């Protein structure tokens, strides 16, 4: 009964809101079968993600880093958006003021049809030239290693925000603008403990938003949000559509 009451309240809030912002993390991708690439299950040739996803690792051995990213791309290429991704596309169509902020780099939100979107950690299907800065989509499988820029011949790198790098100012500004204007914030499949995402719930609440958390387990945000639903995102998110 408690769960039903919470779902009814979320639906009512969404039905009467003028602006909605969504933050998604690894949990929504996990429901599509995308593996996590950090921790004990993220070893690749005895490397940890934290050892490879850095500017220093790329400077030291770009081929090894690209081999790892090619492996990741080949895994992700076999995955498809799930009902939670499609529910968010449906939600986007209902609001003029809607913005989706994702920490995921797999491109599944875009594949589902999301358009009002900030991929704050980048996109594994995009490459950036280390010489001229040009960013292009690239879905080659396998990708040439090392890949080179079609415009200037420079070395390409994944268009990913690596450990030790700052998020793009444009993405941050757009995200905080959306957080400050929304009436409902949905936090889906993320613990929200890594900055700047850790600041998103407090920012939205301070601006008067109703904050909802949907996650498999309780998180540090559970004590901050207005309501929390535990369960698989692919099951819970479609239930919320008003």
Q: What is the pTM of this model?
A: 0.94
Q: Cα dist. 70→109, 124, 211 in Å?
A: 20, 9, 37
Strands 184-188 and 19-24: parallel
C-alpha to C-alpha distance for 154 and 132, rounded to whole angstroms: 7
Query: Would the pLDDT of 242 be above 80?
Result: no
- Check if the beta carbon of residue 22 is closer than 8 Å to that of residue 91: yes
Q: What is the pLDDT of residues 201-232, one digit of tens each?
A: 999 999 999 999 999 999 888 888 999 999 99
Q: What is the mean pLDDT of residues 80-88?
A: 98
Question: Catalytic site residue 121?
Answer: yes
Q: Which of 85, 109, 121, 159 is catalytic?
A: 121
Q: Which residues contact 143 (CB under 8 A, 6 or more apart)?
A: 66, 69, 70, 73
- Check if the beta carbon of residue 154 is closer than 8 Å to that of residue 130: yes
Residue showing tokens 């609001």 = 95
Could you tell me the pLDDT band of residue 108, with boundaries at 50, 70 and 90? very high
Q: What is the pLDDT of residues 144-161, one digit of tens each?
A: 999 999 999 999 999 999
Domains and CATH numbers, the chain: 2-33+81-121+167-239 (3.40.50.1220), 35-78+123-160 (3.30.1600.10)
Residue 35 has what pLDDT? 85
- Mean of the per-residue pLDDT values for the chain? 94
Q: What is the pLDDT of residues 14-49, one digit of tens each?
A: 999 999 999 999 999 999 999 876 644 556 777 888
Residue 191 has what pLDDT? 87
Strand partners, 185: 21, 211
Q: Which residues contact 24 (CB under 8 A, 6 or more apart)?
A: 88, 100, 101, 102, 103, 104, 109, 188, 189, 190
Could you tell me the pLDDT band of residue 120, with boundaries at 50, 70 and 90? very high
């Amino acid at each position: 009964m408690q769960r039903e009451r919470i779902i009814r309240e979320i639906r009512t809030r969404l039905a009467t809101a003028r602006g909605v912002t969504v933050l998604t993390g690894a949990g929504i991708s996990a429901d599509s079968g995308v593996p996590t690439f950090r921790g004990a299950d993220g070893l690749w040739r005895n490397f940890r993600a934290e050892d490879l996803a850095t500017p220093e690792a790329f400077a030291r051995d770009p081929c090894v880093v690209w081999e790892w990213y090619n492996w990741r791309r080949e895994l992700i290429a076999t995955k498809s958006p799930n009902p939670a991704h499609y529910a968010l596309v449906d939600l986007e169509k209902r609001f003029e003021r809607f913005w989706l902020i994702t920490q995921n780099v797999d491109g599944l939100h875009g594949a589902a049809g999301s358009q009002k979107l900030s991929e704050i950690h980048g996109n594994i299907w995009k490459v950036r030239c280390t010489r001229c800065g040009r960013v292009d989509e690239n879905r080659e499988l396998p990708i040439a290693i090392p890949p080179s820029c079609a415009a200037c011949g420079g070395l390409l790198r994944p268009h990913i925000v690596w450990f030790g790098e700052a998020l793009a100012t444009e993405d941050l500004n757009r995200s905080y603008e959306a957080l400050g204007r929304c009436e409902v914030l949905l936090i889906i499949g993320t613990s929200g403990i890594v900055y700047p995402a850790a600041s998103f719930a407090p920012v939205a609440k301070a601006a008067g938003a109703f904050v909802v958390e949907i996650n498999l387990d309780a998180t540090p945000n559970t004590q901050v949000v207005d309501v929390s639903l535990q369960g698989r995102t692919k099951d819970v998110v479609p239930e919320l559509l008003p």
